[in-house]
């Protein structure tokens, strides 16, 4: 299994629903989500993802999950290539990064984490094996060991509201063209 970094910048992508999503994940609900993965096409179902908050304090790793769908193209008129790559995944741990992170950026600057470039400009960066092993070990120490969540068991809505927002943006782009604010 390979691990990848998913980047979240609150300056670029406000996420007001994050506290509610984190609460649902903490109660054991298998919340599925969609995330852009830059140019990464090698991500496979079952791969591990870690969410890293950048650009604004608190910076650091605040969530994790398992990929459920390999990268696929989503039309996006705002990009030069006309699409962006996205993956589907399900969270196994998530905290409200507006309040704090699980592994702060300062910790990621120390060995063995420091072999990895954490300040990536886009999601989809492979986490190097030496950093991945240390990250998984520290993550388990801080969050506990869990089996990958089962996606098909929870009742009620299982998607983050970001999924709805992406669908609405896609529909809006198709009908009116890209938003220009």
151, burial (CB in 10 Å: exposed 0-12, middle 13-18, buried 19+): middle
Predicted confidence at residue 121, as pLDDT, reads: 84
Predicted TM-score (pTM) of the model is: 0.81
As a whole number of angstroms, the distance between CA 146 and CA 128 comes to 22
3-176 folds as ph1033 like fold (3.10.590)
Return the percentage of the chain with pLDDT > 90, whole number.
69
Residue range 21-65, pLDDT digits in tens: 999 999 989 999 999 999 999 999 999 999 999 989 999 999 999
> Which residue's structure tokens are 């006309």?
82
Residue range 149-169, pLDDT digits in tens: 765 433 444 445 555 555 555
Residue range 55-88, pLDDT digits in tens: 899 999 999 999 999 999 999 988 888 999 999 9
Cβ atoms within 10 A of the Cβ of 33, count?
A: 26
Predicted confidence at residue 119, as pLDDT, reads: 85
Contact 56, 9 (CB under 8 A): yes
The pair of structure tokens assigned to 101 is 């992170």
Mean pLDDT of 132-148: 90
Task: Give me the chain's average pLDDT, please.
Answer: 86
Return the percentage of the chain with pLDDT > 70, whole number.
82
Does the pLDDT of residue 135 top 60, yes or no? yes
Does the pLDDT of residue 133 top 80, yes or no? yes
Does the pLDDT of residue 132 top 60, yes or no? yes
Contact 140, 12 (CB under 8 A): no
Predicted confidence at residue 180, as pLDDT, reads: 40
- How crowded is the C-beta side of 147, counted as CA atoms within 13 Å? 3
């Amino acid at each position: 299994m390979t691990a990848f970094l998913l980047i979240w910048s609150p300056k670029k992508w406000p996420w007001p629903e994050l506290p509610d999503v984190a609460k649902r994940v903490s109660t054991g609900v298998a919340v599925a989500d969609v995330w852009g993965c830059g140019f990464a096409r090698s991500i496979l179902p079952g791969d591990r993802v870690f969410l890293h908050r950048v650009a604004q304090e608190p910076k650091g790793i605040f969530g994790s999950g398992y990929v459920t769908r390999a990268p696929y193209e989503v039309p996006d008129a705002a990009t030069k290539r006309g699409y962006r790559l996205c993956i589907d995944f399900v969270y196994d741990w998530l905290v409200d990064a507006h309040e704090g992170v699980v592994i702060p950026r300062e910790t990621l600057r120390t060995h063995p984490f420091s072999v990895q470039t954490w300040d990536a400009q886009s999601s989809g960066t492979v986490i190097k094996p030496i950093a991945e092993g240390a990250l998984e070990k520290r993550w388990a120490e801080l969050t506990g060991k869990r089996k990958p969540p089962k996606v098909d068991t929870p009742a009620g809505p299982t998607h983050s509201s970001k999924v709805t927002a992406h669908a609405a943006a896609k529909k809006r782009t198709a009908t009116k063209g890209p938003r220009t604010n």
